[in-house]
Chain A
């Protein structure tokens, strides 16, 4: 009667909360609280608490049939040809990402992290877009501007913001839904951010950068930070998005939308996804499924079962993240080391590359060099240079439509997991205007279809239907819809 206990991080978002995973003899696992974790003092949000109920290990497959891991690796090695496109958004370790970069490089390609904004915004901005600020620094800010809903999207930031409030900070939220911890909830035209928010060098801006983020909005926020001297932090929905972006620096990136467009026009025939489920990540699930169906080869190297493993030609199933050897870099830029020693993913990629042994040591050394450190120490954030950048002309896409279904984001949505979040939120005016009744689902209709969904009355902006769960009638992060009973 002995247990395997792993010191690891929650895979839910780029906060990368420390946790233990307690694995039993039958392969099932429970999570446990790691109170000495510097990032979160052992605290976890609902996603972390319920991880063992939601995470399913992957199974190796070729053409829909279960196969041995080695057979899947061999099949993938043969199928990955020159001209293949590679995606890794940051749901795995830096070591696996770097190994994939090496494989991609051997095929004359790069690994795309899916953050299209990086390609559209000048390179000198990338360090500021990539690595945020220490979470402790949020607590000492005098003014905090939230362009996120911390309760839904990044729950472990809530305690940091509350601590800042106790220290006297004023909190303003700019978003779709009123945030209860904010002193002020506002809707502001981006053109007026600077004048209405009155920030200074004691201020902190917290926003999100995800694959669907409009680069123009990122530019507006970067301009705001530059003009005011405020610190800015772009949270990311993927646990190691920052680490993967750091590893992929100086490479030309395609956005996920570009990749889907190139699959549709026939210029991408083989796609390799490393722990990156485009069906889950991209808002228009139907369009992504159609595009993936046009590929000659969809090769998925993954640690968990998800929507994309059902449609892939080849699935190379690796160990779950908590068992992997390797490092995660969180939103602060803090390097966090897994206690696991698993190298299935590295070995698989190494074998495809013709380097079946020794790959881990090589890529880990490359990571340390990238971070400028000799060893990973979770209590010391590596020093990152953030060069000055010039103000940019920015014209964000107008998001307002008469009635819009908006994805709120959050770990369950980005990981394609439904929990206690299968409802939409709208304000009382919308409920009354559409004669909705408690207990009867609301009918949400768009050009792409309709769905009947439970609803909750919340303090959301007029015309907004906010959802934390993927719905079939959506075509983007913001979809024009009608609501009826």
Chain B
């Protein structure tokens, strides 16, 4: 097994295979990592309802197995739950993986002890929007939903009577439903920066729906997959060229969709930029939730954005945000968490991306894609002779 190899894999345990997505490979791999002592803990989403799950850091393999299955209506970034020094594994959408790497660059995460099990992602949905969408677009009671999946551009809900209800995601998004705005313009769908990238794209033939396409990206990726195979938890077979080509084609199509959304949402500001930002931030209540939830912020309590601002300031525009706009230019990955938690519904991710994307393009730096490129605002200590 080598870095760059691609396989189709599945869990050997029938229960995990049935409950987990695409043959349950990711669940089996994470549980085996705990059972065999490869890691001390795994971060998973503990399911509390069809649209509700809470991240937990657990050392209990049964809790990992119970978390099997994808949840597109739980838009949470898991990297915030990592503790430095703990040998840990996490299932990681591209934004989970990218923020983990950004945190590692800032010394908050030990990348050598963190196993990033990447998951392909076409986007997530806010649970409140999902509930409205079910009512308005699908004419379904959210309480009747028993499962959901995204397949061939459609969002499919399964009801308790066993029926499937599908609507094209494009159609949903035209009506203001579907994926979160930041997911619509996100152009990283396959987590190539993770130790191992997993998903159902490229799984064809008899294995379609029953297996997971796996790409090995690092030595740690080999380690966690081999650990699961050695434990008898996972079986694999090499992926064929046709499957690889289909996977690349799906990724390409998703990137085109993202590019179109980027044009739609991040078009140039018309009129005064100052007015735009002052209006956008005029309802800010100084809660600090956007900073607290930010998965790439590594500043803690003694941060520049909070040190240079106070609720007693009389400025027309918050210095807290102005400092953050600049400070996050080299790390904002557009994950959408700040917008999700803003109590006055300021589209913060949108605004941060307006600052970050042009600068990231200027410096040809896409945050969180690898450990080798330092943040462009960071001082390169080696180059400086230290």
- Mark A41-59 against chain B: 1 for CB-CB distance below 8 A, else 0: 1111110111000000000
A162 near B: Cβ within 8 Å? yes
B166 contacts across to A, CB distance below 8 A: none
Report yes or no: A35 in contact with B288, Cβ–Cβ below 8 A.
Answer: no
A180-B344 Cα distance, complex, nearest whole Å: 13
- Mark B48-60 against chain A: 1 for CB-CB distance below 8 A, else 0: 1101101111111
B313 contacts across to A, CB distance below 8 A: 456
B340 contacts across to A, CB distance below 8 A: 33, 35, 42
**Interface window among A69-77, A150-158, A189-197, A231-239:** A150-158
Out of A36, A151, A454, name the residue touching B312 (CB < 8 Å).
A454
B226 near A: Cβ within 8 Å? no
Given contact pairs A41-B128, A155-B285, A162 touches B312 in the complex (Cβ within 8 A):
no
Report yes or no: B288 in contact with A1, Cβ–Cβ below 8 A.
Answer: no
- Mark B292-323 against chain A: 1 for CB-CB distance below 8 A, else 0: 11000000000000000011111000000000
Shortest beta-carbon distance from B355 to chain A in Å: 23
A181 contacts across to B, CB distance below 8 A: 283
Out of A48, A155, A421, name the residue touching B344 (CB < 8 Å).
A155
B60 contacts across to A, CB distance below 8 A: 2
A386 contacts across to B, CB distance below 8 A: none
- Mark B327-353 against chain A: 1 for CB-CB distance below 8 A, else 0: 000000000000011111100000000
Report yes or no: A162 in contact with B285, Cβ–Cβ below 8 A.
Answer: no
A146-B32 Cα distance, complex, nearest whole Å: 57
B344 contacts across to A, CB distance below 8 A: 155, 158-159, 162
Given contact pairs A1-B59, A181-B283, A420-B286, A42 touches B341 in the complex (Cβ within 8 A):
yes
B75 near A: Cβ within 8 Å? yes
Out of B55, B86, B288, name the residue touching A49 (CB < 8 Å).
B288
Report yes or no: A45 in contact with B49, Cβ–Cβ below 8 A.
Answer: no
A450 near B: Cβ within 8 Å? no
Report yes or no: B54 in contact with A20, Cβ–Cβ below 8 A.
Answer: yes
B345 contacts across to A, CB distance below 8 A: 159, 162-163
Out of A33, A34, A36, A163, name the residue touching B293 (CB < 8 Å).
A33
B52 contacts across to A, CB distance below 8 A: 34-36
Tell me how many residues of B have a C-beta within 8 Å of chain A: 43
A3 contacts across to B, CB distance below 8 A: 56-58
Shortest beta-carbon distance from B264 to chain A in Å: 19
Report yes or no: A41 in contact with B126, Cβ–Cβ below 8 A.
Answer: yes
B59 contacts across to A, CB distance below 8 A: 1-2
A32-B48 Cα distance, complex, nearest whole Å: 14
A29 near B: Cβ within 8 Å? no
A423-B313 Cα distance, complex, nearest whole Å: 10
A421-B310 Cα distance, complex, nearest whole Å: 9
- Mark A194-238 against chain B: 1 for CB-CB distance below 8 A, else 0: 000000000000000000000000000000000000000000000
Report yes or no: A456 in contact with B312, Cβ–Cβ below 8 A.
Answer: yes
Report yes or no: A1 in contact with B282, Cβ–Cβ below 8 A.
Answer: no
B41 near A: Cβ within 8 Å? yes
B-facing residues in A386-441 (Cβ within 8 Å):
420-421, 423
A48-B292 Cα distance, complex, nearest whole Å: 12
Given contact pairs A1-B41, A5-B56, A36 touches B127 in the complex (Cβ within 8 A):
yes
A3-B83 Cα distance, complex, nearest whole Å: 13
Shortest beta-carbon distance from B350 to chain A in Å: 16
Given contact pairs A5-B56, A162-B344, A162-B345, A49 touches B48 in the complex (Cβ within 8 A):
no
Report yes or no: B342 in contact with A43, Cβ–Cβ below 8 A.
Answer: yes
Closest to A24 in B: B57
Shortest beta-carbon distance from B321 to chain A in Å: 15
A31-B313 Cα distance, complex, nearest whole Å: 27
18 additional contacts (CB under 8 A) given A35-B75, A420-B311: A1-B59, A2-B63, A33-B340, A35-B126, A36-B49, A36-B73, A41-B127, A42-B341, A46-B285, A46-B286, A49-B289, A50-B288, A162-B344, A181-B283, A420-B286, A423-B312, A456-B311, A456-B312
Which residues of chain A have a CB within 8 Å of any CB of chain B?
1-3, 5, 7, 20, 32-36, 40-46, 48-50, 151, 155-156, 158-159, 162-163, 180-181, 420-421, 423, 454-458
Q: List 7 A-B contacts (CB under 8 A).
A: A36-B73, A36-B127, A43-B343, A44-B289, A50-B288, A155-B285, A162-B344
